[in-house]
Amino acid sequence: MFENIPFEHHDIKMDYIITESKIINCEEIRAK
């Protein structure tokens, strides 16, 4: 899941937040 986060990117935190929100969305869909 997290291997797609570009660690060299200057805005790591933003990429991490976007990735995390996608994971949360997937979990919410599965919960339904």
Whether the per-residue pLDDT at 23 is higher than 70: the answer is yes
Cα–Cα distance, 32 to 30 (Å, whole number): 5
Higher-pLDDT residue of 10, 26: 26
Determine the pLDDT at residue 32.
74
Q: How confident is the model at residue 13 (pLDDT cuts 50, 70, 90)?
A: confident
Higher-pLDDT residue of 10, 29: 29
Determine the pLDDT at residue 14.
78
Number of structural domains found in the chain:
1
Please, what sign has the CA dihedral across residues 13, 16, 22, 25?
A: negative
Rounded to two decimals, what is the model's pTM?
A: 0.43
* Domain boundaries, position 13: 2-31
